[in-house]
A and B are shown apart, each in its own frame.
Chain A
Amino acid sequence: MTILTRSAYGEPGTSLDFKTGNWRSTEKPVHIHAKAPCHGACPAGEDQQAWFALLQEGRVEAAWRALVAANPLPGVTGRVCPHPCETACNRKALDGALAIHNVERWLGDEAVANGWAYPVEEPPADAPVVAIIGAGPAGVSAAYHALRHGMRARIFEAASEAGGLLRSAIPPTRLPRAALNAELDRVLSLPGIEVTCRARLGRDVSVEALAADHAAVLLAPGCQEGRDWDVGGSVPADHHEGLALLKEFMDHGQFPAAQRVIVHGGGNTAMDLCRLMKRFGVGEVTLVTASGLPGPDTATDDLINVVPRELEEALEEGIEIIPHATVNRLIMRGSKVVGAEVASLKKVPGTDGRKKRVTFEGTERVRDVDMVIPCIGEMVDPEGLHSWINRGYLRPSDHWGTLSDRIYALGDARGDRGTVAEAIGDGARAVAAVAARLNGGEATTDTRAELPASDLNPVYYPPAARSVAPKLPVSERTFEAEIEGDIGHEAALAEAARCLSCGNCLACDNCWTFCPDSAVIKTAELATDGSFYLFDLDYCKGCGLCAQECPTGYIQMRPE
């Protein structure tokens, strides 16, 4: 595009004759649309800044469409995701990170309530078909993204219903089944997606057979297989593994009778189990975890890996948490547990230079308990996958999930994942890799740099408090009722208005207002770089005022 600036039509003999020439400072302003940190942190690949911008314009449906370009299940992730986007949010240093999950959830629910159509079309009948094992979040996401890439998807699910661990392991108090079903049904009924339930790998289908007549096979079976567990060789007769116990409870509404329980682990399964058991009437529920609780002395990589608000709610409900500790010994009467020795852990330098945790001698104490439940993670059920499994998991070689030619691994089964958002992102990534290969190319990632908080000019943002979702009081928490409520239309839009638009132009006119040389020109239509401004470098002196006063860091000074 030829840019005609004032110097091109300036009348001779006017001051427009006096151009900056070669005496500009060593830098000139450029527009750089950096990656917002929320986007960089989102395992599902959402660009939160983009959909918040649409909400700020009041375009709610368009915002949802931008959101589901990455994540087809916002109503689900808005409820269950530990939201690393909020941890990364640049606003946290001002007056609190954006409550992105509240708005995401609200948008997801609005779409369901209003029946907004997913922005996908049915692929042609002869389009390539991908086979997907597992209708959990990874499989559903993969099927949805297949449509976005013009492919068809065929999902094989071993259970009688789709949903994977969203259904089997997340309590309805966190994810009501109505919300889950509504979103899943809307995605899975999109034309071009075919779901076969009760189709078990190794019995009804095989990876090799599917690979023979599909463009690709995407393995998203999740982790179903409990790990072996013992403490110093002893295993109680009534041993229950955490996830299995949780699944049983979801099916039958029963826990084994116990008065005092220790749950050993540090993830969401452990937390869900603690809270459900406490609500079920177990008198004392103690979580023993090797990780630390949030606080000034806890490093980020040492933090207990649960949704922060879940932790807060668990403490409200009276769950005792013993951080940096382990179950050292089971005290058995016959084959029944009657107590457990809990010991603190301390860090010592390991042989590989990294710190490792060892029992802190002398801190052992005995707790009288009826049950010790390990929640130490699960592995892939090897049935039908023997040739792909490597030490319990599928362990693909890359970010795209490549196991071998046309076979990909997604979600928990990879062995390096642990959240719904990661599973959803895996679905998108694997399908992008498949589509790129079919087109003879390679999939690409967003390699833009993230915008650091120091590049923002915070004075232009008036203070605004983070929204807080309503919560059921502890006394009213049951096994069914959702604990966290909806923030509603007004609060959602107010929350969206808090977005700082990191790295993206807000059309605030600051550059145009402040430029001492009128070298910022406003354009009537969107310029090629996505803003409404051009720099007239014939007159720009390189003073950097525009970059300084740009609230979002979209203008950066770069060497000539």
Chain B
Amino acid sequence: MVVPALADLTASAETRECAVNDDDGKREEIKALLTGGLKIEAFPRADTHEAVQAIVAQLQAAKGDLKARLAIGGFTLTPIEHDGIEQSCETCMYYKVHRRYCELPELEVPVEPEWSCRLWRI
């Protein structure tokens, strides 16, 4: 078993803290893009497993391109109500409550609880 040195653990804690600090800047950047008229595909929502897979495949192709990821994911700054359910980040399974972060591996972006995207799942 590999036991990391204490210095390594400290370093990883520092890295984590930096990442959280970076979140605020990234969140502002996303907000500016969305209010600035970035064209996004909020519909159709990913209602079926096949639709989810198709959108995730597009996201994988977009890789590090933030604008493309926001557009493909269909990000909005307010919740979308669909099928009688308010689909906000706050209730999504990929949302980390305390970091205000979307943990879907293909997205990995800081968000706000009232935002929404079409890959919402509960």
A binds B: no
Binding site for A on B (CB under 8 A): none
A residues bordering B, Cβ < 8 Å? none
